[in-house]
Structure formats: C-alpha cells, structure tokens
C-alpha cells in the first residue's frame, strides 16, 4: 500500500528534477529577502551620501505592486520611466533624520549590478550629524520576512543595525 502512495510523489520529483523549466525557476528564486542601506557623511562635501541595494527581481515586484505598472529595471529603453518609479518608491519607503529634523534627499539614479540594483541619493549640504535616525520599509509592501540592514558612517565611525519586518526604525548616535 505504501508503494502506491509514494509512486506518484516519486514520479513528480523525477519529472520536475529533469525539467529545464524547473531549474530556471529554482535559480531565479532566492529565499532571503534583504536590502542594504548605506549612509555615509562626506565631510569634504558636507553631504550625506545614501545608497540602497536590493535584489532586482524583488524590487521590480515591489514597484509593480505599489504603482500597478510593469517594472523592468534592466531595459535601457524604459530607464527614464523606471527612474520615476524608483524615485517615488524610495521617497515613500526611506526617511532620514539628522537629529529630529527630516533630511531631504535628492534622487541621483539607479544602476544594475548583476542580480542587484543600487539606488543613489544624497542630501543637501549639512553639518556633520550627531544623531541619525533612519526609517526604512523597503519591500515591506511585498514580504513579511524582509530584513533591512542599515550602515551609517560619520567621521570615520561606522555603526550598523538590522531591521526585521514589521519594524522600520533605527537610530545611531555619533
């Protein structure tokens, strides 16, 4: 009797294992949902430089879900349209405070680096921050197991923290 129960499962295993489409899907899937946000105060320019790194496929899905529009970050023909979506998404999901004041960020652009997308922003000229607060909810509209890692560097001192969904805030004092 047990042989009859296992035979269909074994058949499905072998069919999926030897199916090329299965391997393509397995390569595209990654079980880790993580982003990294780097903040670096550039004392020479007096600006806070920000970069966010996410998996391209996850970020495209998050953009599609939020804006109900097809997102293709790797297609040069639609780069200008994607810039608008990326800028608006980051505006909605990333907030930085210098002390208690919100630090406005200027969107510089994005680039693809293999399986990741890097998004670049910077602040206007500002004094070196003593207390930096970050609210980051990247991909919270998509994954309930999202982890956002934040690195903040001021005056040669680097402090890091991990934010797990549903939390979105971190603060570091320098």
Give yes or no: residues 25 and 48 share one domain: no
For the cut 70, the answer to whether the pLDDT of residue 73 exceeds it is yes
Domain count, the chain: 2
Give yes or no: residues 67 and 3 share one domain: no
Report the distance separating Cα 125 and Cα 92, nearest Å.
Answer: 22
Give yes or no: residues 57 and 119 share one domain: yes
Give yes or no: residues 83 and 16 share one domain: no
Which of 4-8, 53-57, 123-127 has the lowest average pLDDT? 4-8
The predicted pLDDT at position 7 comes to 46
Give yes or no: residues 150 and 166 share one domain: yes
Q: Is the separation of the CB atoms in 58 and 33 below 8 Å?
A: yes
Report the distance separating Cα 85 and Cα 91, nearest Å.
Answer: 10
The parent domain of residue 18 ranges over 1-30
Give yes or no: residues 153 and 105 share one domain: yes
Give yes or no: residues 11 and 46 share one domain: no
């Amino acid at each position: 009797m047990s042989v009859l129960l296992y035979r269909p499962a074994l058949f499905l295993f072998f069919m999926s294992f030897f199916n090329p489409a299965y391997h393509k899907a397995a390569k595209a899937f990654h079980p880790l949902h993580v982003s990294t946000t780097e903040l670096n105060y550039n004392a020479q320019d007096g600006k806070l430089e920000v970069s966010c790194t996410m998996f391209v496929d996850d970020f495209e899905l998050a953009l599609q879900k939020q804006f109900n529009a097809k997102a293709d970050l790797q297609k040069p023909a639609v780069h200008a349209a994607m810039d608008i979506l990326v800028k608006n998404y980051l505006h909605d999901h990333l907030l930085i405070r210098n002390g208690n004041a919100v630090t406005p960020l200027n969107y510089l652009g994005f680039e693809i680096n293999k399986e990741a997308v890097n998004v670049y922003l910077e602040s206007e000229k500002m004094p070196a921050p003593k207390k930096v607060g970050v609210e980051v909810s990247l991909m919270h509209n998509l994954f309930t197991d999202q982890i956002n890692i934040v690195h903040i560097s001021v005056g040669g001192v680097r402090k890091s923290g991990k934010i797990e969904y549903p939390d979105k805030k971190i603060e570091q004092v320098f």
